[in-house]
Amino acid sequence: METALAAAVAAGESVRGTTSPNPPVGAAILDRQGNLVGTGATEPAGGAHAEIVALREAGEKAEGGTAVVTLEPCNHTGLTGPCSQALLAAGIEFVYYCHPDPDPKAQGGADHLRQQGVGVERLDRDVDTLRPWLTAVRRNRPHVTLKFAQTLDGFTAALDGSSKWITGDEARRHVHADRTKRDAVIIGTGTAIADDPSLTARDGALELPNQPRRVVIGGRSLTGHARNLHHLGFEQYRGIPDALWRLWDSGARDVLVEGGAHLASGFMESGTVDAIQAYIAPKLLGQGRSVLTEAVGLTIAEAAEFTLRHVTRLGDDVLLELTRKD
């Protein structure tokens, strides 16, 4: 079972950033003897769900076998048919899943399978890959991760505004790899004008296969500025509510806010920051520019609180990944 679960989780992670508005689900099929005979992951929107991909690979070996899925099998017909029915047709006798489906249109697959005599059990496993999508569906807007790099004493730039580079090469490579897993990368007009960023996911000079949408929030015109964004193409929205609605409506479920401080404060004030990625460098400035431009609270009791999920060492830097405490 652990082998199948690990295979399903890895399959889902491998397609993160390519499946929205659908979730990046992974699935594994075991034959009657418990051998792993099929794995699959969600295809891009309109393509097959993870269970279907895994069943195709398993073929006739799926009959009498077990399915392990990171999300409850769907029970509705959209662009594709219900996965619960496909599992039944393949002769699957046991289904294990990690997360119930929060989408009212798709949920119910577990109950349907039980009613048809299939053994169904929910596993006690939190799948990180699905957390952004699950949060987005519950909140009816994209999941928002606020990302920043800072010194040990909490500054994102020196007093003169310089910030290249606070972190080292390994941390910056991680940032680019992470962009490939996001539906969109968001900055403010101030950052677009001052930095002329590309907002692409790169490995050195080479663009990585999956590129996020480039989004700018703010009312200032970028005419005559942001040459790279004009060359590559970008979307611009006047404010945070409009941007999140338009992104959600066009299929984005997992977005990354990269700056600057005014925009970060705006997202914090709007209460829409679901997660934080803090890249911390072993440097001290003493004075400089902060992550935020406005106070979140006037007392410690009013501070925004987050739960630490992961700590990753990246060369001499450290990445803290946190989620909002509800």
Distance CA 29, CA 40 (A): 9
139 appears as a binding residue in the annotation: no
Same domain, 78 and 125: yes
Torsion sign over Cα 162, 168, 172, 175: negative
pLDDT value at residue 148: 96
Give the CATH number, domain containing residue 214.
Answer: 3.40.430.10
In three-state secondary structure terms, 138 is: helix
Same domain, 293 and 269: yes
Task: Say whether pLDDT at 79 is over 80.
Answer: no
Same domain, 84 and 25: yes
Helix 2-14 / helix 50-58 crossing angle, nearest 10 deg: 120
Same domain, 167 and 291: yes
Distance CA 89, CA 241 (A): 44
66 appears as a binding residue in the annotation: no
199 appears as a binding residue in the annotation: yes
Q: Which residue has the tokens 């066009």?
A: 250
Same domain, 91 and 184: no
For residue 107, the enclosing domain spans 2-133
Same domain, 145 and 129: no
- Beta bridge partners, 289, equal 157
Same domain, 51 and 122: yes
Distance CA 131, CA 105 (A): 19
38 appears as a binding residue in the annotation: no
Number of domains in the chain: 2
Burial (CB count within 10 angstroms: exposed 0-12, middle 13-18, buried 19+), residue 160: exposed
Task: Say whether pLDDT at 198 is over 80.
Answer: yes
Domain boundary among the residues 109, 133, 157 is at 133
Cβ atoms of residues 36 and 4 within 8 Å: yes
pLDDT value at residue 250: 97
Tokens representing 137? 């569906």
Same domain, 226 and 250: yes
Same domain, 104 and 78: yes
Return the closest-CA partner of residue 146 out of 323, 326, 325. Answer: 323
pLDDT value at residue 158: 93
pLDDT tens per residue, range 31-70: 999 999 999 999 999 899 999 999 999 999 999 999 999 9
pLDDT value at residue 81: 79
Active site residue 51: yes
Across the chain, what does the average pLDDT equal?
94
Tokens representing 252? 């984005």
In terms of pLDDT, which residue wins out, 117 or 326? 117
pLDDT tens per residue, range 239-295: 999 999 999 999 999 999 998 899 999 999 999 999 999 999 999 999 999 999 999
Same domain, 45 and 167: no
* Average of per-residue pLDDT across 206-214: 93
79 appears as a binding residue in the annotation: no
Give the CATH number, domain containing residue 41.
Answer: 3.40.140.10
Q: Which of 51, 121, 235, 321 is catalytic?
A: 51
Confidence label for 306 from pLDDT (cuts 50, 70 and 90)? very high
pLDDT value at residue 103: 86
